[in-house]
Each structure stands twice: as structure tokens, then as C-alpha cells.
Amino acid sequence: MKNLTRLAAAVAVVALANLGFGCGPAAAQEVTIKFSHVVAPDTPKGKGALKFKELAEKYTAGKVKVEVYPNSQLYKDKEELEALQLGAVQMLAPSLAKFGPLGVKEFEVFDLPYLFPDKAALRKITDGPVGKDLLKRLEAKGITGLAYWDNGFKIMTANKPLRKPDDFLGQKMRIQGSKVLEAQFRALGALPQVMAFSEVYQGLQTGVVDGTENTPSNTYTQKVHEVQKYGTLSDHGYIGYAVIVNKPFWDGLKPEIRTELEKAMAEATKYANDISQTENDDAMAQMKASGKITFISLTPAEKQAWVKALKPVHEEMAGRIGKELMQQIYQATGFQM
């Protein structure tokens, strides 16, 4: 509610600015980009956003100012997409699992369990025609897709060891708002619950949910390892982002400014993708050293049981995501049903 009131106020400010009521130091700037996101600054996405700010301001010689708002400071998951469409913020990097409510549910293909064996397979998709085509689909929603940024592969956490599919029975698991993730947990006999990222720590601490899945960097920076006893190194799925901008805003920029921002984005993308693995490895090391959570590695046979339990999710979701899109990805990654 508080966030919605803030959204209404921000929209009013944008409207006044458009009418020429802008004043104070910000008015001296040619362009201000508000970049809102939900994770900590000390994560692959948080650092990528700050790198983009640094380069965008440098390449435009200060004509563009980028204000980065981390940690859901401005908006939570769903609200930030509304704010982008309304023009209250100009740039976001939502997780690919959060585009369903926009009506571009094909992005949920990235949530399919065990679809990508590694980052190289993933990169073939994000850097190839499939990735480009997905970003193009955003245009009808008033959004321009600029880039894909990595986070990494997910771990499962709970207050009981999750070693076999049966261990999930009846566990309330927090998910992002993706139908594929919902199907994934239902396939394991768990009870998926959509919850905004900013509410996860408290949800786990108070027992509203029993467990969750995320990358090590998100798990560590949200202190989830302090309220979960066990983590399973399952690598069952991927979390990454699409960096997106309000299309009327982007199209309205002077071409020479847009060119510099595209250059800044290309370099920030390379940077974010280069650091993502190390960020996740460091987070794992920190959590292990904390002694607060016990990590479980799966034997090949245990992993096989997870794959067997989760593969049917692909077929179940084909109607939602599109068989053709799934086939294109299978061909590129070598995934076999």
C-alpha cells in the first residue's frame, strides 16, 4: 500500500516535470535515469547497475545522471514493472521469472528445471535469435529490452535436509511469480507461495514459508542462511535478468546520447556477466564459513531422482510457453526430454 502511494506520488512528479515544472539542480541535467532493483548492491545485478551508472555518466560527460535504487527501496517486484510502464522509473533489471504479469510469459522458459547444463548453453540462447526475439516481444508493452545479465544457478534451502524429492512433501516454498516455478514445486509435492523478494527473509524467519530457492549471492546478501538450517546444491535452475527501459523514454533520447548509453550498457553487461560466477562462489564460501547453514551435495543417483521428478514440468508447461520455443532451446542446449 505504502509503495502504491509512493508510486502515485512519483507519477505525479513525472507528470509535473513533463509540464515544465522541473526545478532545482536536477533540471540542469539533460536526462535522469532512475534504475530501480530489488537486490542488494553487493550482488551481480547490484554491481552491474552501479557499473552502468559509472560508464553512462562518464560517456555522456554528465549529461545523463543515473540514480540506482537497490533493495526494493522504491518498489517491490510487481510494482516496479508498473512504475516502469508509467514512466515513474526508466530502467529495471527484473528476474526473467517476473515477466508473466506483463503478459510476456515466454520468459518463464528460463525457469524450466535442468534446461541449461551450464552458462555456455544459456549464453547461446540469450546471445542468439531466441534471446533477441524474446526482448522484441516487450515492445508491444511499451518496454525496450537492452541486455541479459546473469546471476547464476539456484540452491534450495529449508529447515530440513532436502535430499530426495519426497523431502519436499508439504513444505511451503517461497517462489517468484512464475507459473513454471509453481509447477516445479508442485511436482515435488511442495506448496509454492509467491512472495516479493523483499519479504523473503521475514517470511522464512516467521515461518510463513518453510523454504525457498535462490542463487548463493541472493541467499547470502538477504541473510537467508541465518534463518535456514540446510541448503542443497542442486543447480536445478537458473536466475538471470533482462535489463529493460521505458520505450517512449528511450526512443525520445537524442540519438548521440542513446549511442553512448548503448555503449555503457554493452560494457556493463560484460562486466556483470564476468563477475557473476565469482560473486556466487564468494557468497557460498561466506555462508559455509558462517557455520549457520549446512550444505548438502547430491550424489549422481540423488540428482537423477530430482531430474526424474522435475522433467514432467517441461511437458506440463509447453502449452503456456510454446512448444516451438522450447524445441528451439532444446536444440541449442542439447536438453533431452
Among 110, 153, 197, 306, binds ligand LMR (CB under 6 A): 197
Check residue 31 for interaction with ligand LMR (CB under 6 A): no
Secondary structure in 3-state letters for 189-227: CCEEEECCHHHHHHHHHCCCCCEEEECHHHHHHCCHHHC
- Residues numbered 38 to 57 that lie near ligand LMR (CB under 6 A) are 38-39, 45
| 3-state class (DSSP) for residue 239 | strand
> Least distance to ligand LMR from the beta carbon of 163, Å?
23
How big is the site for ligand LMR, counted in residues (CB under 6 A)? 10
Picking from 4, 78, 75, 10, the residue whose alpha carbon sits closest to that of residue 36 is 75
Picking from 226, 262, 221, 267, the residue whose alpha carbon sits closest to that of residue 245 is 262
Give the chain's length.
Answer: 337
Using the contact rule CB under 6 A, the part of the chain among 24-32, 37-45, 66-74, 243-251 near ligand LMR is 37-45
DSSP 8-state code for residue 298: P
> Least distance to ligand LMR from the beta carbon of 70, Å?
10
Check residue 96 for interaction with ligand LMR (CB under 6 A): no
Give CA–CA dist 321/259, Å, rounded. 33
Check residue 273 for interaction with ligand LMR (CB under 6 A): no
Among 151, 184, 219, 221, binds ligand LMR (CB under 6 A): 151
Among 72, 126, 144, 176, binds ligand LMR (CB under 6 A): 176
Give CA–CA dist 308/322, Å, rounded. 22
Measured from the CB atom, the residue of 110 and 271 that comes closer to ligand LMR is: 110
> Least distance to ligand LMR from the beta carbon of 277, Å?
15
Check residue 157 for interaction with ligand LMR (CB under 6 A): no
Check residue 209 for interaction with ligand LMR (CB under 6 A): no
> Least distance to ligand LMR from the beta carbon of 93, Å?
7
- Find the farthest-apart pair of alpha carbons in the chain and give their distance in angstroms, rounded: 65
Check residue 224 for interaction with ligand LMR (CB under 6 A): no
Burial (CB count within 10 angstroms: exposed 0-12, middle 13-18, buried 19+), residue 150:
buried
Check residue 90 for interaction with ligand LMR (CB under 6 A): no
C-alpha dihedral, 104 to 220 to 269 to 128, nearest 10°: -50
Among 3, 36, 90, 95, binds ligand LMR (CB under 6 A): 95
Give CA–CA dist 190/100, Å, rounded. 21
Binding residues for ligand LMR, rule: CB under 6 A, are 38-39, 45, 95, 151, 176, 197, 214, 218, 239
